[in-house]
Amino acid sequence: MMPLGWMWVLVVSSWASGVPVENAKEAMTALNRVYWDAGAQHFRKTPGADSKPLDFWMTAHVWECVMDAYERHGDTGYKTQIGQVYDGFVILHPDWTTNPYNDDIMWWTIACARAYRITREDRYLTRARSEFDRIYAKEVDQTLGGGMWWKRDRHQSKNACVNGPAAITAMELAAILKDETYAAKARDLYAWERAHLFDPNTGAVYDNLNTRQRVSRRVFTYNPGTFIGAALRLYRWTGDKAYLDDAVLAGDYMRQRLCNPDGIIKSEGQGDGGTFKLIGLRYMVELARVTKIPALNDWLQTNADTVWKHRRASDNIMGYDWSKPVREDEDIECQSAAGGVVLLNLLK
């Protein structure tokens, strides 16, 4: 059942304090100043004109940073940049079928669905739908009881990092197209992840199940993050509180288990790990807005205050380890710097 007027734009609550708009704006300004190449229309991996472009999957998340900034500040320059990021990326990666990582494609389908909702440009919806349909048709089967394979070229594991995002994309398409068939796909993907990778006692969302029937019990911040995102969308679509309960439990795990003793979300390094909490915190903000849990709001606020306090004084760039100041001589990669930008622009 689809609730009338369903659309995933969360405006159901306000923050007790939030991030000052000038801090949020400066955070995005700093990210663009240091990493954005306006001529080539891509974000650089590292500072400096000779840096290579940001990686395939990471670009989708920094693209969403631009969307966050537009939705918070209403600056038409950010709306223009949404198109520029996409255009520059397609020049570098015209054929997405050459990428064997199914999760990479799912990150982009989520971002494209969001870009469509913001701009109403059909090219984004067309891409989101065609890429999701392509991967779903070939990469979902009943091996290991269902679910989507992590890699197209090597069917060795089914991972949280692809099944959660795929369920999110399916729900975004269901909402935009008002198409229950996509919601059914999301329910199946979510049910598989819940049955095989979710611990209903602790809220942990484990990393993957491989073809030897072994579960990798590693928990990265983006795994519960996308599980929460899928659960919230299914809750809104169905009204079934069980989905919300799952999301709250996974959020409690992140807030209590994936942090330093002082409550600051843990460092997962740079490289791929530099992108993990950027994703996890995006969906934790959604959870806070839906549930209005004071402790969750306070935790997010503490993390936002801390990462901003620890920014580098010379350029306002935030780092990957939020528990300590960014050194002047420290090389911070773009996706690592973007984590704090996401949180500051979402807490309003």
Q: Confidence class of residue 9 from pLDDT cuts 50, 70 and 90? A: very low
Mean pLDDT within 174-194: 98
DSSP-derived secondary structure for 51-83: PPBPPHHHHHHHHHHHHHHHHHH--HHHHHHHH
Mean pLDDT within 30-59: 97
HSE-CB of 179 using CA atoms within 13 angstroms: 13
pLDDT value at position 3?
A: 41
pLDDT value at position 257?
A: 97
Mean pLDDT within 90-100: 98
What is the rounded CA–CA span in Å between residue 307 and residue 336? 12
pLDDT value at position 281?
A: 98
Q: Confidence class of residue 310 from pLDDT cuts 50, 70 and 90? A: very high
pLDDT value at position 17?
A: 63
Beta-strand pair 36-37/157-159: unpaired
Mean pLDDT within 212-236: 98
pTM for the structure as a whole: 0.95
Mention the CATH class of domain 21-346: mainly alpha
Mean pLDDT within 83-97: 98
- Domain map (residue ranges) of the chain: 21-346
Reference 234, options 270, 286, 279, 305; nearest CA is: 286
What is the rounded CA–CA span in Å between residue 106 and residue 150? 10
Count of C-beta atoms within a 10 Å radius of residue 67: 21
Q: Over 60: is that where the pLDDT of 4 sits? A: no
What is the rounded CA–CA span in Å between residue 23 and residue 316? 10
Q: Mind listing the pLDDT tens digit for each residue in 278-302?
A: 999 999 999 999 999 999 999 999 9
What is the rounded CA–CA span in Å between residue 88 and residue 302? 36
Q: Over 50: is that where the pLDDT of 303 sits? A: yes
Mean pLDDT within 251-272: 97
Q: Choose the weakest-confidence range: 2-6, 32-36, 87-91.
A: 2-6
Reference 45, options 220, 274, 222; nearest CA is: 274
At residue 205, the 3 state secondary structure works out as: strand
What is the rounded CA–CA span in Å between residue 12 and residue 143? 40
Helices (H), the chain: 21-35, 56-73, 76-92, 102-119, 122-139, 160-177, 180-197, 222-238, 241-257, 273-291, 294-309, 334-346
Q: Over 60: is that where the pLDDT of 335 sits? A: yes
Mean pLDDT within 132-144: 98
pLDDT value at position 192?
A: 98
pLDDT value at position 7?
A: 40
